[in-house]
Amino acid sequence: MLRERLIAALGSDAVKTEPEDLAVYSFDAYTDGGRPVAVVLPKSTQEVSAVVKIARDCGEPIVARGAGTGLCGGAVPTAGGVIVSLMRMNRILELDLRNRRVRVQPGLMNLDLSRQVAPEGLFYAPDPSSQQISTIGGNIATNAGGPHCLSYGTTVNHVLGLEVVDDAGEVFVTSIEDAGYDLTAALVGSEGTLGLVTSAWLRLLALPEAVRVWVAAFDGMDAASEAVSAIIAAGIVPTALEMMDAVIIGAVEAAFHAGYPTDAAALLLVESAGFEEDVAASEEAIHAIVKQHGAHYWKSAHTLAERNALWAGRKGAAGATGRIAPNYYTQDVCVPRSKLPQALRAVEAAARINRITVGNVFHAGDGNLHPLLMYDKSDARQVAAVVETGNVILESAIELGGTISGEHGIGWEKRDAMTRVYSTADLAVMGRVRDVFDPRRMLNPEKIFPSGARCPEVTPP
């Protein structure tokens, strides 16, 4: 019945129900999986709307899906249902150069957007590390960040308006210029639980005239962390301020020969972009600060090729850990920037106690840690140790005044950790928003909101 109706609405090439097809859509980049009853690949807003109506009639939940690069199981159909893959809706719909904005479909790759507007001297600022494969829709669902959100802000700062299919299959639109509640801000980061975004107006920025990237190496993570705080405290906001530890430096050098000094215990990758005058002044100031904090190595990249080489190491860091262990798990926590040294020590201690190799590569400027816990998933001891280490890191971030996710989201993985940072009342208030947009809890169920007794899944009056 479901299958027939979906095929009637979308055509047989857009509906998948064979076990081998469903298997492909059972996972995202998180470890746990689920099993959908069907996968559909709509090509238009009308088709998305039709799918939601059919699923609703048949009592099936809906899970919207982009490229499936999410790290927290946000696109995993844990409660079954219909997966709506938005990958065929990947076009730029309108490019308004004079007002520097663009309307895109959700399946457009993040990097494709910047590539397509580059000839006009523009770019789209949010750049999660997955940007070569992840989609705008997925980025909106998780309010994705990336190295450059230090100065440009996360996805929500760049979304001007949305077209959304609601839980009943009806279409509504939002704009940050509209009178009324800021529904755009409420929807960004809601992980597919309030509606399915079918197009988005995005803000574009002018490409900077000057970009420089510097690498500074230190003898310890503490010194590097303090340099990070000192740079920010000096009134400099680089466009990116990333840190790597010795484990990552070693892995990256072996894989990419990025040109990092292999004897360093910590490395800062700093980028400044803007006007020639400011970038040059930043170089001088940052160089002085890192020297004061004991940097023993400094390299400046001016040309695009040199910059790309330095960035290649950072962007490929997670993949490079494959040389150390077959699997890795990325934790994502954010702490106040000045608490970085303590947070890093807590990571190191947790990994040591649980006998897990950890590599740190993260957005230091934002205080956003991404410890990579390396393991072999065929070894049960290691799997248990990774889970335990991840939890300890989460706890220590909370104790330092931090949060359970800086940019990856809550999804399936961290939903029970929500009770560690929010009271039952706080979560019930979020639940009120859910009540309005998805009273039957059919849009990406079992995500964000904790399971069990403290679950705020109240029924609306």
Report how many residues bind other proteins under the rule CB under 8 A.
81
Q: Report, in angstroms and rounded to the nearest whole number, the Rg of the chain calculated over CA atoms.
A: 22
Quick one: tokens of 134? Answer: 């992840």
Q: Which stretch binds other proteins (CB under 8 A): 81-89, 187-195, 305-313, 374-382?
A: 187-195
Q: Which stretch binds other proteins (CB under 8 A): 30-38, 127-135, 263-271, 432-440?
A: 432-440
Nearer to other proteins, 176 or 312 (CB): 176
Find out whether 211 and 273 touch, Cβ atoms under 8 Å.
yes
Q: Does 232 bind other proteins (CB under 8 A)?
A: yes
Q: Does 119 bind other proteins (CB under 8 A)?
A: no
Nearer to other proteins, 82 or 410 (CB): 410
Q: Does 278 bind other proteins (CB under 8 A)?
A: yes
Q: Which stretch binds other proteins (CB under 8 A): 75-83, 112-120, 229-237, 345-353?
A: 229-237
Q: Which of residues 319-358 bind other proteins (CB under 8 A)?
A: 334-338
Least Cβ distance, residue 125 to other proteins (angstroms): 11
Q: Does 98 bind other proteins (CB under 8 A)?
A: yes
Nearer to other proteins, 16 or 363 (CB): 363
Q: Does 284 bind other proteins (CB under 8 A)?
A: no
Least Cβ distance, residue 408 to other proteins (angstroms): 7
- CA–CA separation, 41 and 51 (whole Å): 10
Nearer to other proteins, 112 or 242 (CB): 242
Q: Does 236 bind other proteins (CB under 8 A)?
A: yes
Q: Which stretch binds other proteins (CB under 8 A): 28-36, 39-47, 170-178, 295-303?
A: 170-178
- Sequence-ordered alpha helix ranges (H) in 354-414: 380-399
Candidate list 130, 229, 330, 331; residue touching other proteins; CB under 8 A: 229
Q: Which of residues 199-218 bind other proteins (CB under 8 A)?
A: 206, 209
Q: Does 367 bind other proteins (CB under 8 A)?
A: yes
Paired residues of 358 in beta bridges: 373
Q: Does 460 bind other proteins (CB under 8 A)?
A: yes
- Binding to other proteins by CB under 8 A, coded x per residue (else -) over 31-60, reads ------------------------------
Candidate list 45, 132, 175, 357; residue touching other proteins; CB under 8 A: 175
Q: Which of residues 410-429 bind other proteins (CB under 8 A)?
A: 410, 414, 418, 421-423, 425-429
Find out whether 245 and 361 touch, Cβ atoms under 8 Å.
yes
Amino acid 50 reads A
Nearer to other proteins, 63 or 252 (CB): 63
Q: Does 172 bind other proteins (CB under 8 A)?
A: yes
Strand bridging mode 38-40 / 82-85: parallel
Amino acid 286 reads I
DSSP at 204 = -
- Sequence-ordered alpha helix ranges (H) in 58-208: 110-117, 136-142, 149-152, 183-187
Nearer to other proteins, 93 or 186 (CB): 186
- Binding to other proteins by CB under 8 A, coded x per residue (else -) over 123-162, reads -------------------xx-x---x---xx-xx-----
Candidate list 303, 384, 432, 451; residue touching other proteins; CB under 8 A: 432
Contacts of 424 (CB under 8 A, 6+ apart): 454, 456
- CA–CA separation, 189 and 141 (whole Å): 5
Least Cβ distance, residue 183 to other proteins (angstroms): 6
Q: Which of residues 371-400 bind other proteins (CB under 8 A)?
A: none
Least Cβ distance, residue 214 to other proteins (angstroms): 18
Q: Does 303 bind other proteins (CB under 8 A)?
A: no
Candidate list 95, 186, 246, 324; residue touching other proteins; CB under 8 A: 186
Q: Give residue for tokens 């990025």.
A: 258
Contacts of 408 (CB under 8 A, 6+ apart): 70, 71, 72, 142, 330, 332
- CA–CA separation, 352 and 168 (whole Å): 50
- CA–CA separation, 170 and 189 (whole Å): 21
**Stretch (H or E) spanning 221:** helix 221-233
- CA–CA separation, 35 and 77 (whole Å): 6
CA-closest candidate to residue 73, choices 149, 141, 3? 141
Contacts of 258 (CB under 8 A, 6+ apart): 252, 309, 310, 312, 313
Least Cβ distance, residue 260 to other proteins (angstroms): 25
- CA–CA separation, 286 and 269 (whole Å): 11
Count Cα neighbours of 256 within 13 Å in the Cβ-side half-sphere: 23
The end-to-end CA distance of the chain, in Å, is 33
